[in-house]
Structure 1
């Protein structure tokens, strides 16, 4: 009887381990988009403190003050910092506590870009931006 119970427990554990993690629901995706939108809105107003507050702890470790952070964005993420359009695309689950969000951006010169935001769910349940990879859209010549 004991061996049978042990086998059942092991089988149940294996079955649970083989089930993929639950996908994030639309509320999670909307919350993640809201964090990005808050940061982009804050950048548009040069509100360094609010933009910085949307960043995950790892980003805040790299850029220890809001002023340093916004300076980095101005220099390295100009299409995010100032743009004509900013349109959310698809979101992808990235694991148990992360997701990525694609954004189509057109900069002030009319050049198209894609931003891939990485977001992490924090222990308090809030989403924060852990990174952004910015690339020119295909076919763009500068």
Structure 2
């Protein structure tokens, strides 16, 4: 009996922890998307992980890469969060984004927790979802 109660408490605690992570992770992604929409590349850059900052070196280089390579992220029309999972030591948040023309894209945001909180370590564009029938 005691182990069943302990297991239930542990499961609830873990679910609460994942929910808290999910909220924090989604807030970071939202903040970066809002910064791109506002044209504030420096604010968007602040959500990039140290590895991303090392690759692109400046907010301007980073902004140019996003604008040219991820136009749906640069100017999203609609954002919907899907599942969050742990993969190879990173949290991966799937996001469905509609661009300004209404085209849908599923993206995976690879998140790392740093001393500055959650940061975006990579974004992978997946195959577009099949249209609903």
TM-score by length of 1: 0.76
Would you identify which runs of 4 or more consecutive aligned residues in structure 1 move more than 4 Å? none
CA contact (8 A) 1:112 1:136 kept: no
Q: CA RMSD in A?
A: 1.8
Distance 1:51 1:90 in 2: 23
| Cα deviation, residue 130, structure 1 | 0.2
Q: Which residue is 1:135 aligned to?
A: 126
> Match of 1:116?
108
Residue matched to 1:78: 71
Aligned partners of 1:95 and 1:125: how far apart in 2?
21
Partner of residue 117, structure 2: 126
Contact 2:96 2:105 in 1 (8 A): yes
Rounded to whole Å, the distance in 2 between the matches of 1:125 and 1:25 is 19
**Matched length:** 117
Contact 2:33–2:76 (CA under 8 A) maintained in structure 1: no
Query: Structure 1 pair 95/138, CA: closer, same or farther in 2 (3 Å)?
Result: closer
The answer to which of 46-55 and 87-96 deviates more is 87-96
Gaps of 5+ in 2: 1-13
1:93 deviates by 1.4
| 3-state SS of 1:83 partner | coil
Tell me how far 1:137 sits from its aligned partner. 1.2
Preserved CA contact (<8 Å) 1:114 1:134: yes
Cα offset, 1:83, TM superposition: 2.0
Q: Which residue of 2 aligns with 1:27?
A: 20
Question: How far off its partner does 1:109 sit?
Answer: 1.1
Gaps of 5+ in 1: 1-21
* Matching residue within 53, 58, 62 for 1:60: 53
- The answer as to whether partners of 2:82 and 2:95 remain within 8 angstroms in 1 is yes
Q: Which residue of 1 aligns with 2:98?
A: 106
